[in-house]
Amino acid sequence: MKWEKSVENGLEYKQNLILLFTIVLVMISVSANRPLLMLPVGFFCIWILASWFLTKSLGKNLELSDDKRLIRIYQGEYGKCKMVFRNESAIPYIGGFIGFSTNQKIESLKFRTTSTAHKTFYRVPIFISGKSEAVITFPFYAKERGVIRITNIEFFFPHLLTFHDVLLRFKKIYGTEIVVYPKPIPVGGIENFPYIQIGNQTSRFSPFEDTMKLQGTKEYSSSDPFNRIHWKASAKEQKLQSKLFERDHHVSWAIMINVAQKSRIGNVYISPNTEKYISQAAYLCQVIIKQGFPVALYINSKGLGARPYVLESGTGIEHLKKIMEYLARFDESTEIMDIGKMLEWVDYKSGPANLIAIIGEVSQECSLIINKWDREGRKILHVVDTENGSYLTEIKNERFYKNVK
């Protein structure tokens, strides 16, 4: 049985009282030879049996459809959730209402009753006739990003014979889940990256190089990095030679969100701008997926095995859905990882993409990895907030890059 039943105090007392009264009437009828008194005795007996049978039957054949269902909606939009009740018995449920609660990430002024610090409670009137189906529609407004489940489902209604209040509590986990996607915040400059089309061929005009594919050498110039010198070729030619690598036509993105903020004494805590960072990441991913490029997502929140919150690289509309749901499900109460350690983890485990966008603070701990990626020819970008909005810029063009260096 999916329902836990409880009946208002006093029903059993009333039944016992009527039973006692019936016994007294039987005794009087027999001793005084008054057969007409057996009529109310029969009525009371029928009432007691019917009341007992009805109480036992309530909720047994009442089904609440709890199939797993996902309702996706963006923050700031209106949505609807339907709850389907099926009554397989002939007993009707009259004058009742359904009560339930949600967190405060959504709201519905139509059915709201009370609110606490973390939950809002609702009551929806309902009538379910025998052998029928009833559907209630719960309209709501998506206030905040996150995941919402309908909990504490209860069915209140009066007993048909005794008029006592009956309460049925739904014991299972209701399968419907509401996922509120973050509302994307535009970030300027994303249209300037990348400069080429997607592919995995080599090209002499690509801005990226594959350091694993040596193409040849050229005469060294003062603008060439020191680590590009090809010492064997220089010895052979008796003058300095620089390495030439094949140009890589492949483009991939990595969006890294730093939700941490450090205090002056070095304590790490969740940034008050976390929601803004997540909304900026949502916008960047939308544009990148629309352009047709693969994108991976990283958040410096500790997951399983001391790893950050990671969504592997992918493309297409299905991957965008995964990204939006991934962002929606991010929980700010999880343990935070230092941004520098996350960058080290990404570099060690899989290596980053060739276009890297960092959202949030960039601290001194990032310097070694950022410089390493810069030497490898990767573009490291940063989302900068100004009075006129947010925009992407190469991190080496920012003032604090000298400190990071």
Report the percentage of the chain scoring pLDDT > 90.
38
What is the Cα–Cα distance from 105 to 114, expressed in whole angstroms? 15
**pLDDT value for 41:** 62
Q: What are 313's two structure tokens? A: 């690289």
What is the Cα–Cα distance from 392 to 190, expressed in whole angstroms? 6
Scored b (16 or more CB within 10 A) or e, 141-159 reads ebebbbbbebeebbbbbeb
Q: What is the 3-state secondary structure (H, E, C) of 178-201?
A: EEEECCCCCEECHHHCCCCCCCCC
Q: What are 303's two structure tokens? A: 């997951």
The answer on pLDDT for 121 being more than 90 is yes
The answer on pLDDT for 73 being more than 70 is yes
CATH class held by domain 187-191+251-404:
alpha beta
Query: Which residues face 149 on adjacent strands?
Result: 177
Per-residue DSSP letters for 270-321? E-TTHHHHHHHHHHHHHHHHHHT--EEEEESB--GGG--EEEEEE-HHHHHH
CA-based angle 273:277:282, to the nearest 5?
150
The answer on pLDDT for 213 being more than 60 is no
The answer on pLDDT for 243 being more than 80 is no
- Pair type for strands 295-299 and 253-257: parallel
Highest-pLDDT range among 286-295, 346-355, 361-370:
286-295
**pLDDT value for 193:** 65
359 phi and psi angles, rounded to 5 deg: -115, 130
- The DSSP symbol for 336 reads B
Q: What does the pLDDT average to over 105-110?
A: 88
Q: Quick one: angle between helices 11-31 and 38-57, nearest 10?
A: 160
The answer on pLDDT for 209 being more than 60 is no
Question: Residue 204: which pLDDT band, with cuts at 50, 70 and 90?
Answer: very low
159 phi and psi angles, rounded to 5 deg: -65, 135
Highest-pLDDT range among 16-30, 49-63, 183-197:
49-63
Contacts 24+ apart (CB under 8 A), 56-61: 57/89, 57/91, 58/5, 58/91, 58/159, 58/166, 58/168, 59/1, 59/3, 59/5, 59/155, 59/168, 60/1, 60/89, 61/87, 61/88, 61/89
- Give whole-number Cα distances, 317 to 44, 211, 234, 327, in Å: 68, 32, 50, 15
**pLDDT value for 374:** 84
Is residue 309 within 8 Å of 345, Cβ to Cβ? no
What count of residues does the chain have?
405
Q: What are 164's two structure tokens? A: 């006592």
Task: Match 């009087």 to its residue by tokens.
Answer: 28
Closest CA to 277 of 145, 128, 122: 145
pTM tops 0.85, yes or no: no
Is residue 109 within 8 Å of 72, Cβ to Cβ? no
Q: What does the pLDDT average to over 187-213?
A: 55
Q: What does the pLDDT average to over 354-363?
A: 89
- Pair type for strands 176-181 and 146-149: antiparallel
- Helix, strand, coil percentages in the chain from 3-state DSSP, rounded to 5: 30, 40, 30
Q: Taking all residues of the chain, what is their mean pLDDT, rounded to a whole number? A: 81
Where in the chain are the domains?
Answer: 7-57, 62-181, 187-191+251-404, 199-248
Q: What does the pLDDT average to over 92-105?
A: 92
Highest-pLDDT range among 118-127, 229-238, 348-357, 371-380:
118-127
The answer on pLDDT for 49 being more than 80 is no
Question: Residue 399: which pLDDT band, with cuts at 50, 70 and 90?
Answer: very low
The answer on pLDDT for 124 being more than 70 is yes
- The DSSP symbol for 202 reads B
Determine which of 19-23, 49-53, 341-345 has the lowest per-residue pLDDT on average.
19-23
What is the Cα–Cα distance from 265 to 404, expressed in whole angstroms? 20
Give the number of C-alpha atoms closer than 13 A to the C-alpha of residue 105, restricted to the C-beta side.
20
CATH class held by domain 62-181:
mainly beta
Neighbours of 184 (CB within 10 A): 20
**pLDDT value for 70:** 93
- Give whole-number Cα distances, 397 to 5, 401, 402, 403, in Å: 67, 7, 9, 12
